[in-house]
Structure 1
Amino acid sequence: MAATTDTSLLSAEMKEEEEELYEQLLLQAAKEMQGTSVPPAQESKQIRPQPGFCVKAKTRSSEKIFINICKSDKIPPPPDLSEEDLVILLESEDPSGYRIPMSLGEPHAEVDNSGNGCTAYDIVINPTFYNKIHSNKLFMEFFMTIGFEGLENKYNLEMSREWRMLKNRKFLGSVVEQNIRTKSKPVIQELKSSTTPTESSAKPLVSEVESSCVEPDYTIVAEPADQHQHPSFLVAEISLPKVDSARSLLLDLGEDRIVLWARPDLYHLDIYIPYNVIPEESGSQFNTNTGVLTVTMPVQPA
């Protein structure tokens, strides 16, 4: 496996020749947080989800609500997980490390079969993951728990965990388009040293691979490096020894995901990160001497 992530993800060990660059990136991100630079415009796009199935549930105050579980290929799938791995995850002390990308639509007023008014919510997930929960009871229960928590947090609800899937009903009401936020694309600054690189700085961090479009080696560290303290920044270092210029890099950064393409078909990286970050205030720099792309990401407050 190409990834070599620090076991605690909170290690602050840096090579001496990279410490200065690391400090510069932290200062740059701090300045952006203070408003000294203009963040890139937030991009969004509309999706029209496909109906899947409808769930009847209740709030703690016995108010009847309906949840439309929909699907769209514009929503990324979560990392693949077997049923055995899910059992281990659920038995662990912190199952929150597994994230399910989903879009939670605004509540809309509808009428149920009895002619009574009710409220419906739409949850959109990736079609592949939709098929998985539809065919596996354990994954279905896990997803519904996460979905309920998402609605509660977003709309300040208190929901009962009892629910029932409606037969022969894919959707309550009319399908409404949703606006989803796309990942911002930070501008990659290119660093070139005016001095002759030393032997250690010029040496690639990974050996070249003959095959095209491979996953590069990367590390993720956090600052401060304290396992018991919520970090202020995450720093990802991605080794790209075949890349000569930042112009060939395309970086998409989401709240919990990094996607990188190095053209033409050199590298592709698509990973989830351990904390939610602030894409609009993140910065990235590519060092042409070391072939390392460094992405500095302020972490959302706990």
Structure 2
Amino acid sequence: MMTDMSLLNSELDLQQQEELYQQLLLQTLGQINSESPDSKVIRPEPGMCVKTFSEPDKEKVFINVCQSNSVPPPPELSREKLVELLQSDDPSGFRVPMSLGEPHTEIDNSSQGCTAYDVVINQDFFQKCQKDPLFQQFVILVSVEGLENKYNLELSREWKVLKNRKFLGSVSEQNIRTKSRPVIEELQPPLPRPEFTLIVEPPAGDPEYLIAEIKLPGVGSSRSLVLDVGEDRLVLTARPSLFHLDIFHPFLVDQENSVAQYNSSTQILTVTMPVVSS
């Protein structure tokens, strides 16, 4: 990830902006924690992205299995016990603490709309799953069944773990319960995520540009914006409105030649990123 403040022609010192943002963030989190002492704000790390389909309409669904040590680990589970669970009628009977996020609409490698869900599990347990394919299949199965139960879905068991992608969409902060429960329920993210649109140009054939249009109501100047453009990621913070956007997109872009322009009249930030490959 490269930070190019010149993209926004910022007149404020980055350190001053960071200090202001941290002060406002701490005030916001202080209000949240005072109202909900049994919860904690976390920003999970990307882990693995699983592609599957909804039934019976065969719409693409992506499950972002994320990791955070703020989520408690499950009880100790041996490989022998795991084999027994997978052979039983109800492998989800073994409870894995996890946060099941709300669905969000994204675009896939084919520039088609799809639905993504974020699931957060304990970081150490996630690393264990990465080392053992049997544990990986188990946590995917438990995640699928958890999403089905929470959102009244039916998902295909013919899933695929994407090799070159850890996350599809945006990584958002989550407010999770800290008291031990079989499943950690996700509350609303504390920081507003602005509306945005990703446009591929040209719309057909090999993509040349990825254009992000981000609506920032209430932001009067680009001086309050901090933008990071990565190879496959875009991170934006708008201060002091406390907008935050963190997007993983399905393209590799040229960071150095990306440009951004903020229209204070329409309050829309346009980021134009040359596509290197998809």
TM-score by length of 1: 0.46
Give the structure with higher Rg (CA).
1
Structure 2 length as normaliser, TM-score? 0.50
